[in-house]
Amino acid sequence: MGSWQREFVSVESSTSVRNGAGFYPCQGLYYSSSGKKPKTALIATHYNVDFSEHYLGEYMASRGYGFLGWNTRFRGNEGFFLLEHALIDIGAGVQWLKEKAGVERLVILGNSGGGSLMGAYQSQALGVTMTPTPGLSLPEGLNDLIPADFYISLCAHIGRPEVLTAWCDPSVIEESDPASIDPDLNMYDSANGPPYSKGFIARYRAAQEARNHRITKWCHAELDRLGKNGMFDRAFNFYRTWADLRLMDGAIDPSKREVGRCYAGDPKKANFSPRGIGLTNTLRTWLSMWSLKDSHCRGVPHLNRITQPALVLQSDADTGVFPSDAEAIFDAVGAKDKHLEMIEGDHYLQAPEDARAKVADLIIDWLKVRDAH
């Protein structure tokens, strides 16, 4: 493998300027081969996780490809996320790759939670179809997004509302009380399983969707109430989001994952801790990112519009993304040229030791067949 280098990139976007303290809203690290300008580069962004030092960067760069680990203004700031502005910020990274790095072919990498975000970017770059978050307007800059030539999904959740709903605990009785529990819906009560019965699974999943819809209805009503009192928005907490039945029952969506583990360790302990996705939101952030009814962060509508060649990769021991998720992404992608492959490894490809190198090689082999060198 060749030597590689990386450089810090920071720019403004059309809807966010340099902060008074000095930092730019859009930041990342560009990985490339030493002494050589790549013709093909990948870009990866997450809703809120810092992807600047993404684990694939050095693997792609040492093999002759560019890699931009990119962050929007919402890095570490999930509670204020708005999709339309995140897409503008991703567009600023794509523009840098084209105009400054001299990249000819662009690869969108949708990894982990960022899968649906990057799918939304590609979809809207092909033509704007989304509607604005309530009370806001769509930025003109959405019409200037540059579409990619390829789409890759790697260990990706299908959509933000979908994953939150699948992970949320429907046994919460009172949203303001994280200790409130309906025993009939408590997945951590041994009386209910595991293994979980078909009847319990059906009731549980219906209650998860009902909880999401209940919060959405409250958000709309609360926006109306606040508006009458001269307020624009407010924050609130959403507790207990480590409660996917698949965490404790390996017979549901079977894979090689370690049952009884989640990204935060023990699922029950994580579920009853102040840690988890969607913990803090504004009303508009909920509607933009988490709502099953209103969010444009749902994966399928965007994936349906992607006709560029697509590769879907899913690790077989992932404790948070499951085989059915990868299959749903593959089925939803509108491309005729698409391929789904299960790979050995955990969610972050930390094990086995060569998992990341193998994935990099797999991606490159797939790109080379499509003349992306």
**CB-based contact 49:112 (threshold 8 Å):** yes
Tell me the backbone φ, ψ of residue 100, rounded to 5 degrees. -100, -45
373 pLDDT more than 80:
no
Percent pLDDT > 70 in the chain is: 100
Q: What is the pLDDT of residues 86-127, one digit of tens each?
A: 999 999 999 999 999 999 999 999 999 999 999 999 999 999
The pLDDT score that the predictor gives to residue 130 is 97
Are β-strands 26-33 and 150-154 bridged in parallel, bridged antiparallel, or unpaired? unpaired
Q: What is the pLDDT of residues 275-314, one digit of tens each?
A: 999 999 999 999 999 999 999 999 999 999 999 999 999 9
327 pLDDT more than 80:
yes
Question: pLDDT tier at 244 (50, 70, 90 boundaries)?
Answer: very high
> Cβ neighbours of residue 103 under 8 Å, at least 6 residues apart?
38, 39, 40, 41, 66, 97
The pLDDT score that the predictor gives to residue 35 is 84
Q: What is the pTM of this model?
A: 0.97
* Amino acid (1-letter code) at residue 155: C
> Cβ neighbours of residue 43 under 8 Å, at least 6 residues apart?
67, 68, 70, 90, 93, 94, 97, 106, 107, 108, 109, 118, 148
- The Cα-based distances of 256 to 325, 338, 356 in angstroms read 15, 24, 18
Average pLDDT for the chain: 97
Q: What is the pLDDT of residues 154-203, one digit of tens each?
A: 999 999 999 999 999 999 999 999 999 999 999 999 999 999 999 999 99
In this structure, the chain runs to a length of 373
The pLDDT score that the predictor gives to residue 139 is 97
C-alpha to C-alpha distance for 147 and 72, rounded to whole angstroms: 17
The pLDDT score that the predictor gives to residue 1 is 79
The pLDDT score that the predictor gives to residue 298 is 97
- Show me where the domains of the chain are located: 4-158+297-369, 163-290
Residue linked to tokens 């033509």? 127
C-alpha to C-alpha distance for 194 and 246, rounded to whole angstroms: 10
Q: Of the candidates 306, 361, 298, which has an alpha carbon nearest to the alpha carbon of residue 151?
A: 306
Domain 4-158+297-369 part of CATH 3.40.50.1820:
yes
Question: pLDDT tier at 259 (50, 70, 90 boundaries)?
Answer: very high
**CB-based contact 211:172 (threshold 8 Å):** yes
The pLDDT score that the predictor gives to residue 206 is 98
- The Cα-based distances of 165 to 174, 180, 208, 259, 307 in angstroms read 17, 18, 6, 20, 28
Q: What is the pLDDT of residues 39-80, one digit of tens each?
A: 999 999 999 999 999 999 999 999 999 999 999 999 999 999
CA 105 to chain CA mean position, Å: 23
Question: pLDDT tier at 141 (50, 70, 90 boundaries)?
Answer: very high
The pLDDT score that the predictor gives to residue 371 is 85
Angle between helices 83-99 and 114-125 (to 10 degrees): 70
The pLDDT score that the predictor gives to residue 5 is 97
